[in-house]
Every structure is written in structure tokens, then in C-alpha cells.
Amino acid sequence: MFAYILRRILLMIPTLFGIMVLNFVVIQFAPGGPIEQIIAEIQGTAVGATARIGGSGTGDTGGGGSSASSSLGSDSTYRGAQGLDPEFIKELEVQFGFDKPAHERFFMMMKNYLMFDFGTSYFRDETVVNLVIEKLPVSISIGLWTTLLVYLISIPLGIAKAVRDGTKFDIWTSSLVIVGNAIPSFLFAVALIVLFAGGSYFNWFPLRGLTSDNWEQLSLFGKITDYLWHIALPVTALVIGGFAALTQLTKNSFLDQISQQYVLTARAKGLSERRVLYGHVFRNAMLIVIAGFPSAFIGILFTGSLLIEVIFSLDGLGLLGFEAAINRDYPVIFATVYVFALLGLIMNLVGDLTYTLVDPRIDFEAREA
């Protein structure tokens, strides 16, 4: 097993490198850039998600020149710079590091990233690491609750559908699964806002943030209640949009195991249907479901919650990434891509190792041999 883990870790290196190369190349051809963003702010024509006037965007860029932030950027012609001093534009290019060739910026970035030096945000006057640490609790909170509820709903529902395959219960619940699979989470979020957050009907739930303004003054019970009150709608939207695939996976996994010879043998020995289902089928059928938990959590944490955080104004990683993309805040964009890709690769390995914990008979080294 150690040799398998080592091979997988070594394979992460070229995979992560390829992901970063692809994203860096795409950015080079994307229109606009941080310098154009600053010029637009100076001229009063900026349309960024959180546009700020030059002081915060340019004041610390010199410091960023020695970190990862100086190695980022896209090659562009600054069409919005007419009327500005060319020397000022040149100074901005030097401060951001855009006076260097693209390949030099990329390798400087990767060198810094290997030491987890992600530089400083262009528009927030904070290091990227501090920004991620600051926003991470919100995204983890939403991701954990969503993943937990998705599993608590999908596994019992999938088992019930498998046991009652072809019955009216299976048919009616399949319609719910189809709706949940067909409609994305952000549309459910909009519908929930319209219905329950003062959109058109009821005003039962708050629309912004994870806690109320007076949260610090609340009792322990009041803080818990206030927190659950705020996360109710965003978590509900994510759960509705995410339970369908896992429900079908659980059902199909159980149906596949129920038809196996060992189940027929257990029934022939006179074991009760409940004993057969939970004593024999459950462990084998749940193998793929349980092993997928790490990847499911990462998927919900870093992708599924992006639009939800934007819609509900939750100050997490999703909203941070959205604002960084709109504002062309390259240190934040590339650092989050790097961290998310690295975590995704690690979680894939953890998922494989989870298979061996659930069923020790699985041997990846023997399979590869």
C-alpha cells in the first residue's frame, strides 16, 4: 500500500503542473487585466464586483513584486489608458511584474507556490493566505452541513427505492430525483428567496450573511438558533440540487448487490430479509457510496457553493473567487486554483484509501500488478 500511495503522490506533481499551465495560458488570452482594472477605476468606469480606487490596488503592488503576485498576469494592450501618462502605465507594469515574459512569470509563480507563498491580493491589501483562511470557515460550514444532509437523505431513500423497485413509491420518488437532478442549485436558491426571504411571499429567513449583527450579544442558544436560521435557505438549496445523484447511486448499488448469488444463498438459509439487507448487502453496496464522501465534500465546498454564496451574500471562498475573477485579481485566482486542485487530488487519493478501510479485501497494488 505504501508503494501505491507514493506512486499516486508522485503522479500529483505533473497533474497539478498541467492544471496550472492550462489555467495560466487561458488567462493570457483573456481580455482585460488588473492594470486595465486600475485604469478603469481611476477613470471612473470600473465595473468590477468590488471595485476600489487605485490606492489599495497600486499602493502595495511593489511589495507583491517579490512574491507570487508579481509572477501573474496577462499580456494585454491597455486600450483604456489614453490620456494617462505612459510612464505611469510603465510603473504599473513593473510593480505588477508584467514587464517580464509570460514563461518567466509562470515559473516564478510555481516556485513561490511550492513554498506556499501565494503573494498579496491586488485589490485588498491582504495576503492571499490570510484571505483564504478568513473565508474558509464560511465555506466549510456550508459544505459540511450540505454533505451531511445529502448523505442522511440519499442513503435511506436510495435503499428504500432499491427494496421497493418498480413500486409506486419508487416511481413517485424518482420524479423528485429527476427534478432535483435537472434543476441547478442556484435556481432553487432564487425560488427559496422569492418564497421565504421577502421576495414576493413570506419574509421568514434572512437574505445576507451567516449571522445577525447582534450575534455577539446573543446567548449560546440564541447564537446556535441564529446561525441555523441564516444557513437554512442556502443549505436547503444545495441539498435539493445535490441529493439526486447520490440517491440513484445508492439505489443502483443495492440493486446490483441484491441480485448477487450470496444474497440468494443467505435467503435460502432462512435469514430474514432485514438480516440479509443490512447484514450482508449493506456493506458491499455502501462501498462506493462511503468512499465517495471526501470527493463529494470537496465538490460541494469548492464548486457547488460558488453561486449560492454569491446569491446569499455569504462571505466565503465562492464569493471570494467570483470577485477575484471579475476584478482580475490574479494572485487570488491562481492561488485558489492551485489550492483547490491540490485538495482535489489529495481527496481522490483519500477516496481510494477509504475503499480499503470499508473493504480490506481491496488491494490496489495487486490490481495494478
Taking the C-alpha atoms of residue 254 and residue 158, their distance in angstroms, rounded to an integer, is 8
Q: How confident is the model at residue 198 (pLDDT cuts 50, 70, 90)?
A: confident
Average pLDDT over the chain reads 77
DSSP designation for 256: H
**What pLDDT is attached to residue 269?**
83
Q: Which residue has the higher pLDDT, 246 or 95?
A: 246
pLDDT per residue over 205-254, tens digit each?
887 778 888 888 888 888 888 888 988 999 998 888 778 888 888 888 88
Kindly list the distances between the CA atom of residue 37 and the CA atoms of 47, 67, 140, in Å, as whole numbers in the listed order.
9, 21, 31
Taking the C-alpha atoms of residue 335 and residue 122, their distance in angstroms, rounded to an integer, is 13
Taking the C-alpha atoms of residue 71 and residue 100, their distance in angstroms, rounded to an integer, is 8
Listed residue (295, 294, 293, 319) closest to 305, CA to CA: 319
Taking the C-alpha atoms of residue 260 and residue 254, their distance in angstroms, rounded to an integer, is 10
Q: CATH second-level architecture of 131-327?
A: Orthogonal Bundle (1.10)
Cβ atoms of residues 73 and 97 within 8 Å: yes
| Model confidence at 134: pLDDT above 80 | yes
Taking the C-alpha atoms of residue 290 and residue 181, their distance in angstroms, rounded to an integer, is 20
Helix axes 317-327, 330-358, angle to 10 degrees: 140
- 3-state secondary structure (DSSP) of residue 359: coil
- Can you tell me the mean pLDDT for 260-269? 84
Residues of the chain with pLDDT > 90, as a percent, come to 2
Torsion angle (degrees, nearest 10) of CA 306, 312, 317, 320: 100
Please identify which residue in the block is written with the cell numbers 432535483. Answer: 180
Facing residues of 120 across strands? 127
List the chain domain ranges: 2-125, 131-327
**What pLDDT is attached to residue 323?**
82
Cβ atoms of residues 165 and 255 within 8 Å: yes
pLDDT per residue over 27-80, tens digit each?
877 776 666 766 666 666 555 554 443 333 433 333 344 343 334 444 444 444
**What pLDDT is attached to residue 34?**
67
Q: How many residues does the chain have?
A: 369
Taking the C-alpha atoms of residue 166 and residue 206, their distance in angstroms, rounded to an integer, is 41
Grid cell locating 165: 423497485
Taking the C-alpha atoms of residue 357 and residue 154, their distance in angstroms, rounded to an integer, is 22
Taking the C-alpha atoms of residue 317 and residue 301, their distance in angstroms, rounded to an integer, is 9
**What pLDDT is attached to residue 66?**
38
Amino acid at 85: D
Please tell me the pTM assigned to this model: 0.71
Gyration radius from the chain CA atoms: 25
How far, rounded to the nearest angstrom, does the alpha carbon of residue 73 sit from its chain's CA centroid?
A: 23
**What pLDDT is attached to residue 75?**
44
Kindly list the distances between the CA atom of residue 346 and the CA atoms of 2, 12, 39, 139, in Å, as whole numbers in the listed order.
15, 8, 40, 18
Dump the DSSP string for 222-237: HHHHHHHHHHHHHHHH
- Can you tell me the mean pLDDT for 269-294? 77
**What pLDDT is attached to residue 69?**
39
Q: What's the sign of the alpha-carbon dihedral 102, 78, 81, 334?
A: negative
Q: What's the sign of the alpha-carbon dihedral 15, 20, 22, 23?
A: positive
**What pLDDT is attached to residue 67?**
40
Taking the C-alpha atoms of residue 284 and residue 303, their distance in angstroms, rounded to an integer, is 29
Facing residues of 197 across strands? 203
